[in-house]
Structure 1
Amino acid sequence: MQNDDVWLVVPLFNEASVIGDVVAQCLPVFPNIVCVDDGSTDASADRAEAAGAVVVRHPVNLGQGAALQTGFDYALSDPAMRYVVTFDADGQHQVSDVEAMMDRIRSGDVEVVFGSRFLDERTEATALKRLVLRAAVSYTNLTTSTRLTDAHNGLRVLNRSVVERLDITQNRMAHASEIVAQIGAMRLDGRRVAYAEEPVHILYTDYSKAKGQSLWNSVNILAELIWR
């Protein structure tokens, strides 16, 4: 089956109104989806499961970083897994972008593919939001052994060797920079992990903005980075 060596890891918190559609859109292309329900107080877990995803539950809300680590651990329990995709639950990521990223990583010359909003013009964001996000990228590039154009994009593809070595300890928004920092410092067979970026379209809907994709959320990311 196509992509049966891929697991989509989807952190899930109170997304009952959209998660069923998100899973349904992904399943025809990516049959292995694990949603980590991070202490939701609505029907998110039930709707994800009904749509065809595997659901792992946190009894309380631990944060997106913790949800990703739980999803990684679950995916690693499948010996056939070769790649993990981190994918958001709110409908802002596009399956077609993941397919392009998978083509890139399957070429064999990189172990990680990061999605970037800033490599083409498809993602509509205000000038101020772009400025804040680019400031966060500059800070991440300054403090890690990486050079990226978009360090806080939740769409990533990682090969198994990288997933095995990741250990996320930052549970809130700073987990994205922690992932980048660990990948930048990681060695495989004595060499640095090879990574690339691919352009992706992040769809900012009224719903996703209300769920935390506002300008203030971008400011909070930058503030948390500096505080950490």
Structure 2
Amino acid sequence: MIVLIPAFEPDGRLLALLRELALAAPELAVVIVDDGSGPRYAPVFSDAAVLGADVIGFPANRGKGAALKHGFAHIAAHYPGQDVVCADADGQHTVRDILRVGRAVRPGALALGVRAFTGRVPLRSRLGNTLTRWAFRAATGISVSDTQTGLRGYPAAALDWLLSVPGDRFEYELNLLLRARGAGWTIEELPIDTVYLADNASSHFRPLADSARIYLPLLVFSASSLAAFAVDFVVLLVVNALSGNLLAAVVAARGVSSAVNFLINRRMVFASRRPLRSTLMRYYLLVAVLLLANYGLLSVLTGIGMALALAKLVVEPTLFLASYGVQRSFVFAESDAVRSATRAAEPMAVGRR
């Protein structure tokens, strides 16, 4: 097992962590990525190397995601077959918890050390995690109690996939959670201590810029369906006004909007590698079912006197949630063949260090 620590402008707490790790588990290798901290912090990294850490890094700051991926690539090349535990450099993860998460890593699963957020927790941390947790569940259907934890364990076979996940800063860790299920990884949670030192003053998280980066992937998940809904809404009203035929209007609207939704979802939302023919068949099977449901519900609501526009606004949210869940788990989910080929191409484990 390798402990990977991305570090930007660290202080003595990084060195204290290394000493504690050496006492508790001297067999562990530690890789530290200097994320462009600059000459002022060179002595800290020099001391870390003296303590036995493998120190690599960048001359200029590139962000936590870039640092993690640089570390994953280094570990894959120099420590093949080793599982990886990522921890923060600011003393917020105890050695006991780091080792617990490391021991929990198993093939096919990502291990998250999750905080309870009880006691004295800075408001921005408590609020930020709560909002992201709710948004994450709404977008993915997966319940993760701490989406922002930096204490995570990854099996060796996940390294190539981790390198393919987009994002160079704080959004990277959320991106990989968003894509985990589609790539065939399960998520397991382990409770850890919630540690905030000096109200988390050492955090390099920028509330506005980095929050925007974190929430952007969640918005992308919804933007495709919102765009398709807008197209569907306009085409429905126009065709119905021209033809006076509700069924024709529903079919035309669904046909145009589904094409828009499919193209965006396949490329931008789910990044599906499933063969196009198979995906199209699954997608339009779903479209047919949703079309019948859409027509049936609109007919019922307009039949009891509700205006078509209002009926559409009532029906669409329900169908949106159903459609998203089926697309995520069935239409665009990575096929077993693709998943097997991906895993076969990844480095084989040769035992833990």
TM-score normalised by structure 2 residue count: 0.54
Tell me the amino acid that sits aligned with residue 32 of structure 2: C
User: Within 2, Cα distance between the matches of 1:9 and 1:173?
Assistant: 16
Tell me the amino acid that sits aligned with residue 176 of structure 2: I
The residue that corresponds to 1:56 in the other structure is 56
1:144 and 2:140 aligned:
yes
User: Within 2, Cα distance between the matches of 1:92 and 1:156?
Assistant: 13
Q: Please give the residue correspondences for 1:1-228 in structure 2 after superposition, counting only pairs within 5 Å.
A: 6-28=1-23, 29=25, 31-41=28-38, 42-43=41-42, 44-78=44-78, 80-106=80-106, 111-118=109-116, 121=118, 124-126=120-122, 129-144=125-140, 146-166=142-162, 167-187=164-184, 193-206=185-198, 209-212=200-203, 217=207, 221-228=210-217
Further displaced range: 12-21 or 84-93 = 12-21
The residue that corresponds to 1:3 in the other structure is none
For residue 136 of structure 1, report the CA deviation from its aligned partner: 0.9
Aligned length: 211
Residue by residue over 1:39-77, the C-alpha shift from the partner in whole angstroms, topping out at 9 and shown as x without a partner, is: 112123212212210001211110000000011011112
Residue segments in structure 1 that go unaligned for 5+ positions in a row: 1-5, 188-192
Considering fraction of residues, name the structure with more strand: 1
Extract structure 1 runs of 4+ deviating beyond 6 A. none
User: Within 2, Cα distance between the matches of 1:143 and 1:60?
Assistant: 34
* Higher gyration radius (CA): 2
For residue 127 of structure 1, report the CA deviation from its aligned partner: 5.5
Higher relative contact order (CA 8 A, sep 6+): 1
TM-score normalised by structure 1 residue count: 0.81
User: Within 1, Cα distance between the matches of 2:63 and 2:192?
Assistant: 24
Alignment CA distance shift 1:32-1:132 (3 Å)? same
Further displaced range: 22-31 or 53-62 = 22-31
Alignment CA distance shift 1:168-1:37 (3 Å)? farther
Tell me the amino acid that sits aligned with residue 149 of structure 1: S
Considering fraction of residues, name the structure with more helix: 2
For residue 99 of structure 1, report the CA deviation from its aligned partner: 2.3
